[in-house]
Amino acid sequence: MTASGSDPLSQQELDSLLSSMQMGLSKVPAKTGATRSKPRQATGFETHPLYLNMKVQRDFAQLLQINDPYYRRHEVQAGANSVIDGRPVSNFASYDYLGLNGHPEIVAAVGEAVGTYGTSVSASRISAGERQVHRDLEAALSRNYGTDDCIAFVSGHAAAVSTLATLMGPKDLIVHDAVIHNCVVVGAQLSGSARRLFPHNDLDALEALLSDERDQFERVMIVTEGLFSMDGDGPDLARLIDIKQRYSAVLMVDDAHGLGVLGKTGKGIFEHQGVNPADVDLWLGTLSKTLVSCGGYVAGNAVVVDLLKHQAPGFVYSVGMPAGAAVASTKALEIMAREPDRVARLHERSQQFYHRAKAKGLNVADAWGYGIIPVVIGDTIKTLHLAERLLQRGINAFPILPPGVPEKSARLRFFLNQSHTPEQIDEAVDATVLEIASLGVTRPF
């Protein structure tokens, strides 16, 4: 790009550009219509509406001289620092909250597991893929939540999709927070259940919805996140538990980002809010954040885990996770418990970012100031320019744009790592403030 060297276009110029580019899209046949005309036959995917949309966006970005922020190659292991295009950067775009990625103890344990079991378990766990390391990981995760049992999938996304599609069906209702992660939306859609959204963290609205509709369904599941991945805030868990009990619903909490981040010892939102984790029916999580591996899990009672282990398609019909991946997360949990100062340091660094950003007038929305801090800009183009300019200064923060977040709420998302230095954090906040000012972004963003 040259976004760093070029001034963003005016709103009027942008609007006119957008409408001329959207003319291309208007040729795409509408998906729904009162009368169903004979479909035009297609073989390739060049005319797929999603592909056409991508093309419009790319052409638009090119016109504005914005570099594509997607699929940038990092040349070193993820952590508080990285190297992109040969240039070292302070990295605020990776999930490694407790700085455990590449920890020598974890690397050694993974090496040993690979030496023992190889790089693949070469079968679904239900057939020939079961290894002791899977059970060790599931036992360690169950201990974190005080649940009977746990099931570990090969991906966090797949864990959510498969679990919802297995447990819920056409007679049921799934009610979820409006900004829930995509894995829950896709799982709910696949389940065939009715699906309703409540405004972000608005438990009055949730209660009103249940009061109106609970009676029409067999099972009702409420799904929310413990620490929202795009917003860095979370729900009032005790109240959610009270609501789910009064409306005979099941509560699933996706604490993918809460584990390692929330609570004095990093156990998650229940520790942060002093709530008994056994009052939550299903804990959904991922191994890809604090637990520096690849995979996902659901912790809950023995019946639900038994059911999933024999019926969830993404588990039964998919290979078991490699032994190395399982061992990495078990070790990470062990180090997290043994070294609570990592969690304390993460809290310190996050709070430093949060308070400095607020003091300097950045819009951090309702973030709690632990692990994830958004800087909301609003305008998509300015957010892209901001990310690019920060990268030129050696600061990597990922731009999050609609539809990943609601319209007009584009933002940069900063993931904090306990290994960030106080200097890196001050520098990142101050550079963001400077670049926002030079882009002419004014509050309210």
Ligand X SMILES: Cc1ncc(COP(=O)(O)O)c(C=O)c1O
Residues that bind ligand X (CB under 6 A): 155-157, 181, 183, 225, 229, 254, 256-257, 286, 288, 296
Q: Name the residue among 261, 269, 289, 401 with its Cα closest to residue 345.
A: 261
Nearest approach, Cβ of residue 288 and ligand X (Å): 4
Give 329 or 424: the residue with its C-beta nearer to ligand X.
329
Between 61 and 190, whose beta carbon lies closer to ligand X? 190
| Nearest distance, CB of residue 258 and ligand X, angstroms | 9
Minimum Å gap between C-beta 229 and ligand X is 4
SS3 at position 155:
coil
Q: How far is the C-alpha of 64 from the C-alpha of 9, rounded, in Å?
A: 8
Least separation in angstroms between residue 193's CB and ligand X is 19
CB of 181 to ligand X, least distance (A): 4
CB of 16 to ligand X, least distance (A): 36
Backbone angles phi, psi at 17, to 5 degrees: -60, -45
Q: Which residue is nearest to ligand X (CB)?
A: 156
Task: Tell how far CA 414 is from the center of its chain.
Answer: 13
Residue 216, classified by CB atoms within 10 Å of its CB into exposed (0-12), middle (13-18) or buried (19+), is exposed
Report in angstroms how near the CB of residue 257 gets to ligand X at its nearest.
6
Q: What distance in Å separates the CA atoms of residue 392 and residue 90, rounded to the nearest whole number?
A: 11
Cβ nearer to ligand X, comparing 217 with 283: 283
Q: Structure tokens of 428?
A: 């990142």
Residue that is written with structure tokens 């949990």 in the block: 333
The residue (of 174 and 183) whose beta carbon lies closer to ligand X is: 183
Structural tokens at position 160: 């959510």
Among residues 336 and 439, whose Cβ is nearest to ligand X?
Answer: 336
State the number of CA atoms in the 13 A half-sphere of 217 facing the CB. 27
Contacts of residue 118, defined as CB under 8 A and 6 or more positions apart, other chains included, come to 323
The answer for 192, left when phi > 0, alpha when psi is -120 to 50, beta otherwise, is: left
Q: At what angle do helices 132-145 and 323-338 cross, to 10 degrees?
A: 30
* Minimum gap (Å) between residue 189 Cβ and ligand X: 16
| Least distance CB 105 / ligand X (angstroms) | 22
What is the nearest approach in angstroms of ligand X to the Cβ of residue 176?
12
Q: Which is closer to ligand X, CB of 72 or CB of 214? A: 72
Strands (E) in 154-193, as ranges, are: 173-177
Count of alpha carbons within 13 angstroms of residue 312, beta-carbon side: 30
The two structure tokens encoding residue 220: 């009702």
Shorter beta-carbon distance to ligand X: residue 229 or 424:
229
CA distances from 20 to 65, 277, 281, 382, 408 (A): 17, 53, 50, 20, 20
> Mapping DSSP to helix (H, G, I), strand (E, B) and coil, where does residue 240 land?
helix
Identity of the residue numbered 165: A
Give bridge partners of residue 149 from the DSSP assignment.
Answer: 300
Residue 346 Cβ, how far from ligand X at the closest point, in Å? Answer: 17
CA-to-CA separations, 75 to 72, 84, 89, in angstroms, rounded: 10, 6, 11
Query: 288 vs 396, which CB is nearer to ligand X?
Result: 288
| Distance between CA atoms of residues 91 and 82, nearest Å | 6
User: Which C-beta is closer to ligand X: that of 159 or that of 209?
Assistant: 159
Q: Using alpha carbons, list the distances in angstroms from residue 193 to 10, 397, 400.
A: 45, 37, 29
Q: Measured from the CB atom, is 138 or 225 closer to ligand X?
A: 225
For the chain, the first-to-last Cα distance in angstroms comes to 24
Closest CB to ligand X among residues 3, 373 = 373
